[in-house]
Amino acid sequence: MLTRALFNRLYLHQACAGTNALIMPKRGVKRKTVEVEHSPDRRSETPPVVRQTKRKSAKVVTTTTTTVTVSATAVVETAPLGTEVSQVTQPLASAVSPQRLASKKFIGGHFSISGGPKTAVREAVEHGANAFALFVRSSRTWNCPPLSPTAVAEFKEAMKESGLQYSKIVAHGSYLINPGSPDPAVLAKSRAGMLDEMQRCEQLGIKYYNLHPGSTCNKISVDECIDLIAQSVSQTLAATKDVTLLLENMCCQGNTLGGELEELAQIISKVDDGVKDRVGICLDTCHAFAAGNDISTKEGWDLLMKKVETILGLHQLKALHLNDSMFAAGAHRDRHEKIGKGLIGVEAFKHLINDPRTNNLPMILETEPPQKPEIDLLFSLHESAKAF
């Protein structure tokens, strides 16, 4: 079994080269390849999805087990996103409370797409969430089958049945994508991936597409990388409509961009004027904390929001990722922790939840499952918690 400690020792960062593999030598002729999903230069992020593939000598004999860790429970993916599913769609297991559906606070998690995007809707409802995030295709590979008409129809039917709002869904971009890559081949694949994922958002009716800004890979300057990112964003937005692209703040780790809000502002300033109104930001609490913004107090949270207002404008804030942090403020370590179990603390999230500036914004957990207790906890922190 691949333990987390062993994984951390063997994790070879190769995103900038457009490849994602760990080779673990074994005695004899057998070897095991572990493919991972991650974003450029995020060596310490929350545990990535792991796919183990065993190969015997020269024979093409493979056995594959894939575990998705973003859902409420560990889910084994048995079919690619968009594959026709023959089983009859069952009614949603439960309903989100009317109080939460009517709330100005929209809280949820990142849920599975195993069996199609409708699964994410069902998991959101089962978790009592009134917002959610999902991948719109597999985030582990560049080449994915298109969404089938059935998958699209089932997603829209599940949304209609759930009572959830399309404007409170945030699609998350693949971790393979680097829109500022200095490698022409990786850049081309990243731009094609961005376009494909945003077109899938259009098909599904999703309004927000969240993306990590990118990495210099220590091969180009920050300014050159910013130019490439802005070009990637402009091209993708020009080829789509009705979907807003959200750049996520990062934690100043490695060669990633976006840890400083000024970098996000620079990217947005260079996006073509004709599509600039469809660019915003997604604020990740763990990333902001790790980048040096101590939001563990009300004063710290207010200071960060003041920086957002001054550098970017509050109108650019479209969504939040709610994650506690395993490491101290300014550690530049992107390790998510469950709410109240890390160094940001419950009181900080109470300030955030009760801040009117977070009204009507989708707020998404990216912590280890199970997430329902955290969703319930976050709703309970609101001053009108008895209504939920």
State the catalytic residue, choosing from 38, 140, 200, 351.
140
pLDDT digits (tens, 9 = 90+) for 167-202: 999 999 999 999 999 999 999 999 999 999 999 999
Q: Where among 67, 85, 101 does a domain terminate?
A: 67
* pLDDT tops 60 at residue 86: no
Domain that holds residue 13: 4-67
Which of these, 133, 268, 140, lies nearest to 201 by C-alpha position? 133
State the catalytic residue, choosing from 38, 110, 137, 172.
172
Asked if residue 88 and residue 166 are part of one domain, the reply reads: yes
Instruction: Tell me the Ramachandran region of residue 214: left when phi exceeds 0, alpha when psi lies from -120 to 50, beta otherwise.
Output: left
- pLDDT, residue 18, reads 55
pLDDT digits (tens, 9 = 90+) for 221-233: 999 999 999 999 9
Asked if residue 276 and residue 327 are part of one domain, the reply reads: yes
- Averaged over 134-141, what is the pLDDT? 95
- Residue 336 is a catalytic residue: yes
- Averaged over 246-260, what is the pLDDT? 97
Asked if residue 49 and residue 178 are part of one domain, the reply reads: no
Asked if residue 142 and residue 91 are part of one domain, the reply reads: yes
State the catalytic residue, choosing from 278, 321, 335, 351.
321
Asked if residues 358 and 320 have their Cβ atoms less than 8 Å apart, the reply is: yes
* pLDDT tops 90 at residue 138: yes
- pLDDT, residue 177, reads 98
Q: How far apart are the first and last CA of the chain?
A: 42
Alpha-carbon torsion (59, 51, 198, 219), positive or negative: negative
The DSSP symbol for 356 reads G
Q: Where among 67, 87, 122 does a domain terminate?
A: 67
- Give the pairing of strands 64-68 and 50-55: antiparallel
- Residue 284 is a catalytic residue: yes
Query: At CA 316, angle to CA 312 and CA 319, rounded to 5?
Result: 125
Which of these, 201, 92, 195, 185, lies nearest to 152 by C-alpha position? 201
Asked if residue 317 and residue 206 are part of one domain, the reply reads: yes
DSSP state string for 294-310:
--SSHHHHHHHHHHHHH
- Averaged over 327-338, what is the pLDDT? 97
- pLDDT, residue 45, reads 37
- Cα–Cα dist 183/386, whole Å: 53
Q: 16-30, 113-127, 245-259, 266-280: lowest mean pLDDT where?
A: 16-30
- pLDDT, residue 21, reads 38
Count of domains for the chain:
2
* pLDDT tops 70 at residue 254: yes
Which of these, 8, 66, 16, 10, lies nearest to 40 by C-alpha position? 16
- Averaged over 78-100, what is the pLDDT? 56
- Residue 287 is a catalytic residue: yes
Asked if residue 200 and residue 59 are part of one domain, the reply reads: no
- pLDDT, residue 339, reads 98
Instruction: Tell me the Ramachandran region of residue 343: left when phi exceeds 0, alpha when psi lies from -120 to 50, beta otherwise.
Output: alpha
Asked if residue 290 and residue 246 are part of one domain, the reply reads: yes
State the catalytic residue, choosing from 248, 263, 294, 324.
248
* pLDDT tops 70 at residue 69: no
Higher per-residue confidence, 339 vs 39: 339
pLDDT cut 70: percent of the chain above it: 75
Asked if residue 12 and residue 124 are part of one domain, the reply reads: no
Amino acid at the residue 266: Q
Q: Where among 50, 67, 84 does a domain terminate?
A: 67
Asked if residue 188 and residue 145 are part of one domain, the reply reads: yes
The DSSP symbol for 143 reads -
Asked if residue 159 and residue 37 are part of one domain, the reply reads: no
- Residue 208 is a catalytic residue: no
The DSSP symbol for 128 reads T
- Averaged over 12-24, what is the pLDDT? 44
- Averaged over 338-344, what is the pLDDT? 98
- pLDDT, residue 16, reads 63
Asked if residue 280 and residue 171 are part of one domain, the reply reads: yes
- pLDDT, residue 93, reads 53
pLDDT digits (tens, 9 = 90+) for 289-317: 999 999 999 999 999 999 999 999 999 99
- Residue 382 is a catalytic residue: no
- Averaged over 357-380, what is the pLDDT? 97
Asked if residue 326 and residue 344 are part of one domain, the reply reads: yes
- Give the pairing of strands 132-134 and 324-325: unpaired
Q: What is the CATH number of the domain that holds 137?
A: 3.20.20.150
Query: What pLDDT band is residue 94 in, cutting at 50, 70 and 90?
Result: low
DSSP state string for 162-228:
HT--GGGEEEEPPTT--TT-SSHHHHHHHHHHHHHHHHHHHHHT--EEEE---B-TTTS-HHHHHHH
* pLDDT tops 60 at residue 348: yes
* pLDDT tops 90 at residue 148: yes
Q: What is the pTM of this model?
A: 0.79
* pLDDT tops 50 at residue 25: no
274-297 in b/e form (b: 16+ CB < 10 A) is ebeebbbbbbbbbbbbbbebbbbe
Read off φ and ψ for residue 24, nearest 5 degrees: -110, 105
Distances (CA, A) of 115 to 89, 118, 124, 196: 11, 8, 15, 19
- Give the pairing of strands 317-322 and 324-325: unpaired
pLDDT cut 90: percent of the chain above it: 72
* pLDDT tops 50 at residue 284: yes
State the catalytic residue, choosing from 38, 100, 287, 333.
287
Q: Which residues contact 174 (CB under 8 A, 6 or more apart)?
A: 37, 135, 137, 138, 139, 193, 197
| Adjacency order of strands within the sheet including 317-322 | 106-109, 362-365, 317-322, 279-284, 244-248, 208-211, 169-172, 132-134
- pLDDT, residue 261, reads 98
Alpha-carbon torsion (285, 347, 126, 160), positive or negative: negative
Q: 37-51, 92-106, 292-306: lowest mean pLDDT where?
A: 37-51
- Residue 321 is a catalytic residue: yes
